[in-house]
Amino acid sequence: MQSFMSTPYLLLIPVLSFCLLLLLFIQWRNTHPNRSRLPPGSMGWPYVGETLKLYTESPISFFSNRQRRYGDIFKTHILGCPCVMISSPEVARSVLVSEAHLFKPTYPPSKEKMIGPEALFFHQGDYHSRLKKLVQASFLPSAIRSSVSRIETIVLKFLSTWQTRTINTLNEMKMYAFDVAINSAFGDKRDMDVEGIKHLYQRLEKGYNSMPLNLPGTPFNKSMKARRILNEKLRKLIEKRRREGGEESGGLLGVLMGNKDGKLNNLSDAQIGDNIIGVIFAAHDTTASVLTWALKYLHDNQCLLEAVTREQEGIRHNIVEENRGLTWDDTRHMPLTSRVIQETLREASVVSFTFREAVQDVEFEGYFIPKGWKVLPLFRTIHHSEDFFPQPQKFDPSRFEVPPKPNTYMPFGNGVHSCPGTELAKLEILILLHHLTTTYRWEVIGNEDGVQYIPFPVPKRGLPIKVYPKNNN
């Protein structure tokens, strides 16, 4: 009798295995018929996907290469997640505005722990809109117009320390934007240990981009320790201000503690604390990166710098004549400087994209997006499209003499989660540029062009510059 393991039977094994795999594949396709309608693109290697390519190619060319190959909606797999990238203004609008209920904001759990789970970024629906109204109210032009002189004092303090020494622009701008953020968060009251809070926040910040490894001695662990102490400090401050009539204390803290319409504002200490930290987090690296780029672009475009300086000197002339400080109204009469800021926001696109996640299986623009997939509107790619911004690599503020086409310009995002700090960010940039251009000149040290990621894109080595008073050579 022939053995079961003899040659003809052995040959059947691979054939049967192949048939079994084929059957499993057909069954999988039948239960997931929509998989064939996923957007075009490559998911790369199992598990790592295209993450290595993202790092080796640089995020900017990674996205633009794939957009050229696959079009305005393509799929990929990065940082452990299947993703759909969007570089059409209309489709980005659908994700962020008209279909926003289908795509929730999403952040790594470690970021949520560090900033605080109650911060508004992480929420949708009622809780988010209650908080958003309060935060927006603190940063409306009518609320921040009285902060011009306080911001001016902060600018003058920094500028006086920059003279005739080489500074790391990014680091200095981070400290400046941080001081403005602290002032906006807590108001002017001198009842708190600002330096202690700053110190703890800086310890917290060191772990923001670290591996989320919570073991003794790791950056993440140190960061979380700082966060716990910060919580305690904030809780005591809230308690103290509540005893003294919190809503009078100014700043975002005063607004969040306020109780003007009863239940609307009935926030717990944790909710208040997480949103204070959240706003400080959102306000300072972004603004500092934009300021650093603004100095680079002005330095590289000397004719433009001269024109901006003339605009600012005109304003300074009136201020000196009238023997007063800079006012909100002065900042409304800086059209060229404002266009320089608009163009810096476009060209640098420091928030290059944002993350959303499909809350359910979604039929979208003729494609199928499975529940849980990340969806990323690519702001930078849209801002650098030849179709909407001719010669996109050219730094040309005059392009903003006419408004950009709808939905093509989103440096502050779009829809329910768009930035509430737009006016404050622009104001602090205007005030700094006013004093810098009228009193100082600056020279970039080294001729190293290029970008590094913090994770925001910033000029290489933080743009070292040397600052001189104008009357010196």
Nearest to 151 by CA among 337, 327, 350: 327
Binding string, 389-418, against ligand HEM, x = CB under 6 A? ----------------------xxx---xx
Q: Does 290 bind ligand HEM (CB under 6 A)?
A: yes
At residue 31, the 3 state secondary structure works out as helix
Choose which of 134, 257, 350, 430 interacts with ligand HEM (CB under 6 A): 350
User: Based on C-alpha coordinates, what's the Rg of the chain?
Assistant: 26
Least Å distance, CB 358 to ligand HEM, is: 15
CB-side neighbour CA atoms (13 Å) of 135: 29
| b (16+ CB within 10 A) / e for 321-334 | eeeeebbeebbeeb
- Minimum CB distance to ligand HEM smaller for 86 or for 282: 282
Least Å distance, CB 436 to ligand HEM, is: 17
What is the full DSSP assignment across 45-72?
A: BTTTBTHHHHHHH-HHHHHHHHHHHH-S
What is the full DSSP assignment across 171-220?
A: HHHHHHHHHHHHHHHH-S---S-HHHHHHHHHHHHTTTTS----STTSHH
Choose which of 420, 459, 462, 464 interacts with ligand HEM (CB under 6 A): 420
Least Å distance, CB 417 to ligand HEM, is: 4
- Minimum CB distance to ligand HEM smaller for 84 or for 290: 290
Question: How many residues of this chain interact with ligand HEM, rule: CB under 6 A?
Answer: 26
Choose which of 49, 59, 89, 421 interacts with ligand HEM (CB under 6 A): 421
Structure tokens belonging to residue 321:
């004549």
At residue 440, the 3 state secondary structure works out as strand
Q: Judge contact between 221 and 214, C-beta under 8 A.
A: yes
Distance of CA 399 to the CA centre of its chain: 24
Binding string, 300-339, against ligand HEM, x = CB under 6 A? ----------------------------------------
Q: Does 139 bind ligand HEM (CB under 6 A)?
A: yes
Instruction: Choose the stretch contacting ligand HEM; rule: CB under 6 A; options: 144-152, 234-242, 380-388, 421-429.
Output: 421-429
Question: From its phi and psi, is residue 403 left (phi > 0), alpha (psi between -120 and 50) or beta?
Answer: beta
Chain position carrying tokens 């917290």: 204
User: Is it true that the peptide bond before 455 is cis, omega within 30 degrees of 0?
Assistant: yes
Q: Does 279 bind ligand HEM (CB under 6 A)?
A: yes
CB-side neighbour CA atoms (13 Å) of 211: 5
Least Å distance, CB 321 to ligand HEM, is: 32
Q: Does 174 bind ligand HEM (CB under 6 A)?
A: no
- Minimum CB distance to ligand HEM smaller for 38 or for 345: 345
Choose which of 95, 120, 375, 432 interacts with ligand HEM (CB under 6 A): 120
Distance of CA 136 to the CA centre of its chain: 17
Least Å distance, CB 253 to ligand HEM, is: 13
* Residue 181, amino acid: A
Length in residues, the chain: 473
Choose which of 286, 292, 331, 407 interacts with ligand HEM (CB under 6 A): 286
Q: Does 169 bind ligand HEM (CB under 6 A)?
A: no
Instruction: Choose the stretch contacting ligand HEM; rule: CB under 6 A; options: 140-148, 305-313, 346-354, 360-368.
Output: 346-354
Site of interaction with ligand HEM (CB under 6 A): 105, 120-121, 132, 135, 139, 278-279, 282-283, 286-287, 290, 350-351, 354, 411-413, 417-421, 424-425
